[in-house]
Amino acid sequence: MAFSQCVGNDAWRQTMLEEMKRELSFYPDVQFIYRDANGSNERQVAQISDLMRRHVDLLIVSPNETQPLTPIVDSVFREKIPVIVTDRKTGSGLYHAYVGADNVAIGRLAGQYIHQLSSKRLNIGMISGLGGSSASIERQRGLRKVVDSLPSMRIGIALEGDWTKETAYRLAKANLSELLKQDVVLAFNDQMAKGVQQAYTEAGHTDRKILGIDALPGEGNGLEAVNKGVLYASLLYPTGGAEAIRTAIAILEKKPFIRDNILGTVVIDHTNAALMALQSQKIKDQQEDIDKRQQLIATQQEVYKNQRTTLNTLAVS
């Protein structure tokens, strides 16, 4: 089983990989090949071609940008190698299964949430993600649908980021006065929202409404930022790592599987951030407990194997 990740070095995708590995630990016979394209379309295409040459039995892929990745993923599909697309999508719809949240719905929900923040006119500063990635295109489509249907809402400034904090920080610094004229800023992920927040703080503005997407638990991530009041709100974007592996196993074992696995979302703000943080800590503790038990079983199996070898040797001598 191979997994082609578009970019591996951010916390959200590291969490996805951890979830995958935890789920894979229940299937010790599966060999897992991981490739990180480091944000390069060309590298991801080359890595997938190489995986095909290695005759993998199944490919999980999170495509960096839609158009450049569509032909190679389509050719894997046409070779009859099962393909699971996760988080971002290709352009053709040629895949065996999809695992991820509905990004149009996320954009729409963000718009609806912003709408109910005020009965007055609302200007939104929008920082989208990498232009050719489906998550950014779809979030924008959902947001614009809501904004276009409501005369009291307007996108006052639209800036294109690349999902990273650094770029969003630079963009925010360069467009500070325009952004400050907006009532809220919606960045398409929490890392970019934190970039904007940093630029604002440096300019002495700490009371502005900045919203993000992901609400990832853990230190330095979105959920914590909302909980601390650093970000005003975030929308949960589950990584789907465990679901991707479960779907992959079902396909490999020729069991029934769901083609479109749409993961749920929810708005996180000051009303529920503490509860969410508490719940995710509890889940983390339980997962660590499962990890420990698995390690214990593995050690005991090793001891048992050694004892049997000793017994066999004794019987022979």
Q: Which residues bind ligand FRU (CB under 6 A)?
A: 7, 10, 12-13, 87-88, 129, 133, 135, 163, 189, 213-214, 237
By beta-carbon proximity to ligand FRU, the closer residue of 122 and 225 is 225
Cβ closest to ligand FRU, residue 6 vs residue 72:
6
Q: What angle do CA 274, 275, 280 make, to 5 degrees?
A: 100
CB of 11 to ligand FRU, least distance (A): 8
What span, in angstroms and rounded, lies between the C-alpha atoms of 203 and 190? 20
Please report how close the Cβ of residue 10 comes to ligand FRU at its closest, in angstroms.
5
* Distance of closest approach, residue 307 Cβ to ligand FRU, in angstroms: 47
Q: Is the dihedral of CA 235, 144, 115, 191 positive or negative?
A: positive
Under 8 Å between Cβ of 92 and 74: yes
| Cα–Cα dist 214/20, whole Å | 18
Q: Shortest gap between Cβ of 286 and ligand FRU (angstroms)?
A: 25
CB of 206 to ligand FRU, least distance (A): 24
Query: Among candidates 20, 23, 22, 24, which has minimal Cα distance to 36?
Result: 20
- Are the C-beta atoms of residues 120 and 152 closer than 8 Å to each other? yes
Number of Cα atoms under 13 Å in the Cβ half of residue 7? 15
Give all strands of the β-sheet with 2-5 in edge-to-edge order. Answer: 33-36, 2-5, 59-62, 83-86, 97-101, 260-263
Maximum Cα–Cα distance across the chain? 90
* Closest by CA position to 247, among listed 65, 3, 71, 80: 3
As measured in angstroms, the least distance from the Cβ of 189 to ligand FRU is 3
Q: At closest approach, how far in Å is the CB of 299 from ligand FRU?
A: 36
Signed CA dihedral, 76, 91, 64, 107: sign only:
negative
User: Which is closer to ligand FRU, CB of 12 or CB of 113?
Assistant: 12
In the complex with ligand FRU, which residue's Cβ is closer, 266 or 297?
A: 266
Which residues are 23's β-sheet partners?
none
Residue 133 or 182: which CB sits closer to ligand FRU? 133
